[in-house]
Amino acid sequence: MAKAVTTRPTQDTHLLTMYRQLVRMRVFEERVRDVYFAALMPGLAHVYLGQEAVAVGVTEALREDDYVTSTHRGHGHVLAKGGDPKLMMAEIMGREAGYCKGKGGSMHIADLSLGIIGANGIVGAGIPIAAGAGLWMKMRGGDSVVACFFGDAASNQGAFHEGINLAALWDLPVVFVCENNLYGISVRQNRHQKIVDIADRAIGYGIPGEVVDGMDVSAVYDAAKRAVERARKGLGPSLIECKTYRWMGHHAGDPARYRPEGELDAWKERCPVKLCRSILISDGILTEDEDARIQAEVESEMREAEEWAAAQPFPAPERALEDLYA
Amino acid sequence: MAKAVTTRPTQDTHLLTMYRQLVRMRVFEERVRDVYFAALMPGLAHVYLGQEAVAVGVTEALREDDYVTSTHRGHGHVLAKGGDPKLMMAEIMGREAGYCKGKGGSMHIADLSLGIIGANGIVGAGIPIAAGAGLWMKMRGGDSVVACFFGDAASNQGAFHEGINLAALWDLPVVFVCENNLYGISVRQNRHQKIVDIADRAIGYGIPGEVVDGMDVSAVYDAAKRAVERARKGLGPSLIECKTYRWMGHHAGDPARYRPEGELDAWKERCPVKLCRSILISDGILTEDEDARIQAEVESEMREAEEWAAAQPFPAPERALEDLYA
Amino acid sequence: MLKNLTQAEALREALVEEMRADSRVFVMGEDVGPHGGIFTVTKGMWEEFGDERVRDTPISEAGFVGAALGAALVGGRPIAELMFGDFAAVAMDQIVNQIAKARYMSGGKAIAPLVLRMTIGARGATAAQHSQSPHAWMVHTPGLYVVAPSNPADCKGLLKTAIRDDNPVIFCEHKKLYFEGGPVPEGEHTVPFGVADIKREGRHVTVVAISYMVHKALAAAEKLAEEGIECEVIDPRTLVPMDWQTVYNSVKKTGRAVVIDEGHLTAGVAGEIAARIGKECFDYLDAPVERVCTTDTPIPFSPQMEEFVIPQVEDAIAGIRTVLA
Amino acid sequence: MLKNLTQAEALREALVEEMRADSRVFVMGEDVGPHGGIFTVTKGMWEEFGDERVRDTPISEAGFVGAALGAALVGGRPIAELMFGDFAAVAMDQIVNQIAKARYMSGGKAIAPLVLRMTIGARGATAAQHSQSPHAWMVHTPGLYVVAPSNPADCKGLLKTAIRDDNPVIFCEHKKLYFEGGPVPEGEHTVPFGVADIKREGRHVTVVAISYMVHKALAAAEKLAEEGIECEVIDPRTLVPMDWQTVYNSVKKTGRAVVIDEGHLTAGVAGEIAARIGKECFDYLDAPVERVCTTDTPIPFSPQMEEFVIPQVEDAIAGIRTVLA
Ligand SMILES: Cc1ncc(C[n+]2csc(CCOP(=O)(O)OP(=O)(O)O)c2C)c(N)n1
Ligand SMILES: Cc1ncc(C[n+]2csc(CCOP(=O)(O)OP(=O)(O)O)c2C)c(N)n1
Ligand SMILES: [Mg+2]
Ligand SMILES: [Mg+2]
């Protein structure tokens, strides 16, 4: 399990900004979970609950003109990079007004205008894509970077190896972020690889690798910031492994009986939202009242998003024939 | 370039055995090269000249009931594992009497009865196959091991990553042997990966990795022996990187203009056959006369093989329709 | 003795019986172990056979499919599972360049007795990367057998045949059928490759349907029977080898043919069937062969669109009416 | 102005002209840099454009094909080269699950303007893993354009169109044609997608031939012309989009059709063409559509066997005679 050390934020207001994002992600995903159980969405919901500090901390180190690639568990990344919860929820509910006009769904949200290259249903496949986006960032000039999210189990895909090797070889501005939540569906990390720290794989590509407490948004932010700066300077990619955990099963409908008793509770002790809140409060940056206000604002933002989405029409079936070729 | 240290053999007669194998490989491949230039073979000849110490040293550490997987540059591995030069040459020449009845050719020689799982035309593809063979060795019991050969450039394939991860995770009896000859076709190692020692990649799988002088057959043998013993004991795989070089271009017809001047000559200074011979002679194990006899015997063995092969008929065209399904 | 089993149970029965009978047989794949597979096919098997023979793999499709080949080449009889057939693309080199060719390239000396189970079909709005039916890629690759059963009994019987066969077999299981029941013979029950099953006899039109589409065809036939239209519904069961004779005989009798397949229309298996019927039954055909296939678009997420692109009973009926017009 | 160029030179001309005109265009692949590509297509380009835009890649097909997609999604216009089309299998997930679907899954918001050049065909006894013509896999995958030219002028014109197109294009280059010459327009010369070329007019039989097979068809036509048999040889040039109308019009005129393709027979592109002709020209066909394709076996090494499995001029002639019988 990740170390219990919690680092201090670089800036107090910064932490507050990140806290709000954590809360937004938490509330959004709780809604998605509820929407799933209420059978108001088609397909599966790979919710991000528990891992919020990773998406928030990394994205906080990015600029608007930076990019992210995401995964099947992508809502957090999309939200963090500026995704509109209305359009996200509409997509997740399969509506015409959604990000992908209902063609993509939960696993395929993309918005290039926000730098969201796309979620991906194929484990690991986003990694070479991120390298390629980084390649173009480098070739076109400027100093944009790409953050590439993927899971612990994805690190066993050939795509991981090839994508990182390319980025390393060509000094591409990519930050590879492994969200090690200990499981690929039911398979615990010790049953899918012999190593403990995926960051060690960085050695095989000649790039820096770092393990960070993925429940501590400031720690994630600090590591991401270093890696992003390195990338911006043209010094090449880094691999950051965030030790984290998912509150739910692989998707909302998975009871996750494969996890040892107590494991979830132990990790919940270190809930990234709670951790962040307690620092803010103990440091006097946030009062209980202000916190309540943030919660209320976020709740209403997300409720509105859901209500708006639920009121949108489904696409006409024959729209399925559109959008294939440009 | 590899270090110039030359270790001593564990046993003198052993070294003599290996020397004979080195010479056989050298002579066989010179013949293949000549056969290619004489247009007596179809297709391309990825000759093994210069790398002989790797196949010989590794295979010497194997038993008859062990297995090897090979590559497009596979003649050395096949010969070392007991391949019959007649049947090899016949296959290379596309004859009915060849190992694969003329269906496989130079890149696809296999003989399961000798433990030769097969050469492979897809770079890296043999690595998961070797892991799988190792898996079955482990599951069926006994203590056979699998040696898996591949090149420096193959180490950038996803198959490398996935195959070694499986073998590491499951403690499979596989010895991964990377023949780092510095090039994948025209692309020098520093242009295909950021690292210098491919053995470093072992860290990412939690297995031992070792760099060895691939021109020194005893060094290769010693490293292979350690790895093979480890595998036999059920302790899992190892990665051995042999620093070596190929005398010719990617195939016999490639003039290899992409290599810096002098590089080939420098490596030829450390010719594995010459190196081995000079030790044997300076240690008094081999006399010049005995050496001449070995040379003559091998020359005639390989000349016979070629003559025999050249006298074999080509397969009837319609035999192409056979051997697809069992 | 027949008993009622779902497709998942029938497959499990075949796996368990073959694993009990032959210690060389083992299964490997993602979450097939304690978890029992996301479609429950291997449920309970880990408890009986243990970690080694019911083997969870990392997410490394090319790796473990290649490993299955390696094990098969040296004496094992592995059964690898691809959770979604879409992931066949990730392991494609091992499937088409290695597994399919291992025997041929060796001049017939190697055998690769392995089964690659993969799910096909759209179910439950899993969108473009989890809904495909890519069996045509495999059918287009010489050296593979390709099986696509439509009911639990055939699942059991064909899987047993596949496991015992010395050739590599791609075993396509439709996701919508896993929890559908049907009568299955207990104990020894094998179905030979290359023998189609006439699921319904009829004299007006031949309907060749693959996998789950057999059910659409039968529903369409039922409906049309009310109007006196008699459809002969043929389930090839194995796509390689294909029982062409049964198809031709039927078309020679009916003079009309419709092919229903969940693969995309263009350059798929339905095209092959239509082309061969067009050639072999040329003098018998009273109408062009009609194909009812998934549109040439990826599978969209939203359910109404998904339904639109995948052949439905009404599409089958429309296709049949077209050839009868 | 026409000049005589080989296919390799014509392709290079297209690449160079487009790279000069658009700084977003770049090429990447194995040994494309200083080495100039093993079929010489990019020879001299590294000297002009440098390391960045003529980029040697590691042997990581899935990696660099995926990287091409990533670059395309954010504004680049990459051209990736697969040294052998057989290696498409190694990169298959990126091709079929990512590249082909990126636009559709995003609801039309993303574009993936990239070209994936790959060699097809058997040449020089390179055996089962270096001789395949796997274009059918791509044609069966909605979202890709698939191009298969047969002469240097079309190579240049189609490659320019491909580079400028906002869709992903699979560009199939036949290995046997790289060093064959032909007249090529200098400077600006584009060939539109979806427009077949009637390479030879005739009224007795329509021969649809793909890529190198166009030459076999023309040789057969030449031969048969001596007997007064007039073949109409159609080169579709692009398989997706396919110019069906030109094919149908021809078959409606001749009443007979042969399809020649170096892909394997079963479930390939020839089957699609035969099936569509069978449907759309049903009332016009005087004989079943005949297919002349590579046998359903891997490509064997030994040259006589290789020749046996691949369609030759005599096979084309035999096929044409069959439909005329
Ligand atoms: C290539 C591929 N293989 C398998 C799957 C099925 N699958 C979806 S998510 C998942 C687990 C991924 O684990 P990890 O990468 O650790 O991410 P996490 O789900 O834990 O966020 C699996 C096996 C897939 N979508 N793609
Ligand atoms: C998947 C794949 N990509 C590319 C090739 C073409 N190719 C054949 S050998 C080779 C170079 C391999 O280099 P390395 O692995 O270092 O082995 P070496 O040739 O040096 O022995 C290449 C690119 C191939 N056969 N397979
Ligand atoms: Mg995980
Ligand atoms: Mg090399």
> How do residues C128-165 score in pLDDT, each as one tens digit?
999 999 999 999 999 999 999 999 999 999 999 999 99
pLDDT at D86 over 80: yes
Ligand 2 atom with the smallest distance to the CA of D30 is 23
- The string of pLDDT tens digits covering residues B240-285 is 999 999 999 999 999 999 999 999 999 999 999 999 999 999 999 9
pLDDT at res. D41: 98
Cβ count within 10 A of residue C194:
15
Residues on chain C bordering chain B, Cβ-to-Cβ distance under 8 angstroms: 24, 26, 52-53, 57-58, 60, 62-76, 78, 93-94, 97-98, 102-111, 113, 142-143, 145, 165-167
Question: How large is the average pLDDT for residues A34-62?
Answer: 98
Look at ligand 1, atom 7, and give the residue with the nearest C-alpha: A123
Q: Is 60 exceeded by the pLDDT of residue B9? A: no
Tokens 């000849």 label which residue?
B45
Is the Cβ pair C108, B322 closer than 8 Å?
yes
Which chain D residue has the Cα nearest residue C100?
D298
Active site residue D61: yes
Please choose, from the candidates A278, A207, A275, A191, the residue with its C-alpha nearest in 3D space to the C-alpha of residue A241.
A207
Three-point CA angle C196, C202, C205, nearest 5°: 85
A78 pLDDT exceeds 60? yes
How many other C-beta atoms can be found within 10 angstroms of the C-beta atom of residue D283? 8
Question: For A45-49, what is the mean pLDDT?
Answer: 98
> Is the bond into A317 cis (omega within 30 degrees of 0)?
no
- Flag if B193 and D58 touch (Cβ within 8 Å): yes
Q: Residue B19 above 80 pLDDT?
A: yes
Q: What is the mean pLDDT of residues C31-48?
A: 98
* Both structure tokens of A24: 């937004």
A13: pLDDT confidence band, cut at 50, 70 and 90? Answer: confident
Which pLDDT score, from 0 to 100, does residue A5 have? 45
| Confidence bin at C297 (pLDDT 50/70/90) | very high
Is there a contact between C46 and C34 (Cβ–Cβ < 8 Å)? yes
- Judged by CB atoms closer than 8 Å, whether chains meet at D124 and B158 is answered as no
- Is C61 assigned a catalytic role? yes
Contact B153 D58 (CB under 8 A): yes
Report chain A's mean pLDDT, rounded to a whole number: 96
Token readout for D183 is 């007249």
**B122 in contact with ligand 2, CB cutoff 6 A:** yes
CA distance A135 to A144: 11
Closest atom of ligand 2 to CA, residue B122 = 26
Residues 78 to 117 of B: which have CB under 8 A from any A CB? none
pLDDT, one tens digit per residue, over D112-144 is 999 999 999 999 999 999 999 999 999 999 999
Average pLDDT over every residue of B212-239: 98
* Centroid of ligand 3 to alpha carbon of A183 (angstroms): 4
Q: What residues contact residue B266 under an 8 Å CB cut-off, 6+ apart?
A: B1
Distance A153 CA to ligand 3 centre (A): 5
* pLDDT band, residue C202 (cuts 50/70/90): very high
Q: 3-class secondary structure for chain C?
A: CEEEEEHHHHHHHHHHHHHHHCCCEEEEECCCCCCCCCCCCCCCHHHHHHHHHEEECCCCHHHHHHHHHHHHHCCCEEEEEECCHHHHHCCHHHHHHHHCCHHHHCCCCCCCCCEEEEEECCCCCCCCCCCCCCHHHHHCCCCCEEECCCCHHHHHHHHHHHHHCCCCEEEEEEHHHCCCEEEEECCCCCCCCCCCEEEECCCCEEEEECCCHHHHHHHHHHHHHCCCCCEEEEECCEEECCCHHHHHHHHHHHCCEEEEEEEECCCCHHHHHHHHHHHHCCCCCCCCCEEEEECCCCCCCCHHHHHHHCCCHHHHHHHHHHHHC
* pLDDT score, position A11: 60
The distance of C220 to chain A (nearest Cα, Å) reads 21
Residue ranges with strand state E in chain D: 2-6, 25-29, 54-56, 77-82, 115-120, 145-147, 169-174, 181-185, 197-200, 205-209, 231-235, 238-240, 257-264, 290-294
Between chains, do A321 and C297 touch, taking CB under 8 Å as contact? yes
Mean predicted lDDT score pLDDT of chain D? 98
Sign of CA dihedral C237, C241, C243, C247: positive
Residue D290, pLDDT above cutoff 90: yes
ipTM (interface predicted TM): 0.98
Half-sphere exposure of B205 (CA within 13 A, CB side): 30
pLDDT classification of B11: cutoffs 50, 70, 90: low
Mean local confidence (pLDDT), B223-247: 98
Asked whether the beta carbons of D71 and A133 are under 8 A apart, the reply is yes
Task: Write down the pTM of the prediction.
Answer: 0.98
Q: Neighbouring chains of D at 3+ CB pairs within 8 Å?
A: A, B, C
Could you give the dihedral angle defined by the CA atoms of residues B152, B33, B85 and C112, in that order, rounded to the nearest 10 degrees?
50
Task: Report every protein residue that has its C-beta within 5 angstroms of ion ligand 4.
Answer: B 151-152, 181, 183
Nearest to A132 among D68, D142, D167 (CB): D68
Residue carrying the six token digits 């290599």: B259
pLDDT at residue A10 tops 70: no
pLDDT number for residue B1 = 36
pLDDT in tens, C54-113: 999 999 999 999 999 999 999 999 999 999 999 999 999 999 999 999 999 999 999 999
* Averaged pLDDT for residues A132-148: 98
Query: Where residue A3 falls among pLDDT bands split at 50, 70, 90?
Result: very low
Buried-exposed string D8-46: b where 16+ CB fall within 10 A, e elsewhere: bbbbbbbbbbbbeeeebbbbbbbbbbbbbbbbbbbbebb
The whole-number average pLDDT for the span D260-289 is 98
B39 pLDDT more than 90: yes
Span B142-165, average pLDDT? 98
Residue B5 has pLDDT above 70, yes or no: no
Taking a C-beta distance cutoff of 8 angstroms, is the pair B241, B180 a contact?
A: yes
**Residue with CA closest to ligand 2 atom 12:** B184
Q: Is the pLDDT of residue B7 over 90?
A: no
Q: Which residues contact D324 (CB under 8 A, 6 or more apart)?
A: D204, D205, D229, D256, D287
D308: region left, alpha or beta (phi > 0 left; psi from -120 to 50 alpha)? alpha
Question: Chain-wide mean pLDDT for chain B?
Answer: 96
On the question of pLDDT at A55 being above 90, the answer is yes
Residues facing residue D290 across a β-bridge: D258
Helix/strand/coil for A117: strand
pLDDT mean over D5-27 = 98
8 Å CB contact between D156 and D147: no
D275 vs C79: CA distance, rounded Å: 35
CB-CB contact of B60 with B221 (8 Å): yes
Q: Cα separation of A150 and D103, whole Å?
A: 22
Residue pair A191/A153 in contact (Cβ under 8 Å)? The answer is no
The rounded distance, in Å, linking the Cα atoms of C169 and C78 is 11
State how far the Cα of B299 lies from the Cα of B294, in Å rounded to an integer: 8
Which residues in A lie closer than 8 A to residue B191 (C-beta atoms)? Answer: 169
Q: Which residue has the tokens 């240097």?
A: D152
List residues of chain D with CB under 8 Å from any CB of chain B. Answer: 30-31, 33-35, 38, 56-60, 62-63, 86-87, 90, 124-130, 295-298, 300-309
pLDDT band at A1 (very low <50, low <70, confident <90, very high): very low
Neighbours of chain C (3+ CB pairs under 8 A): A, B, D
CB C237 within 8 A of CB C197: yes
Peptide bond into C241 cis (omega under 30): yes
DSSP B200: G
Model confidence at B13, pLDDT cuts 50, 70, 90, reads confident
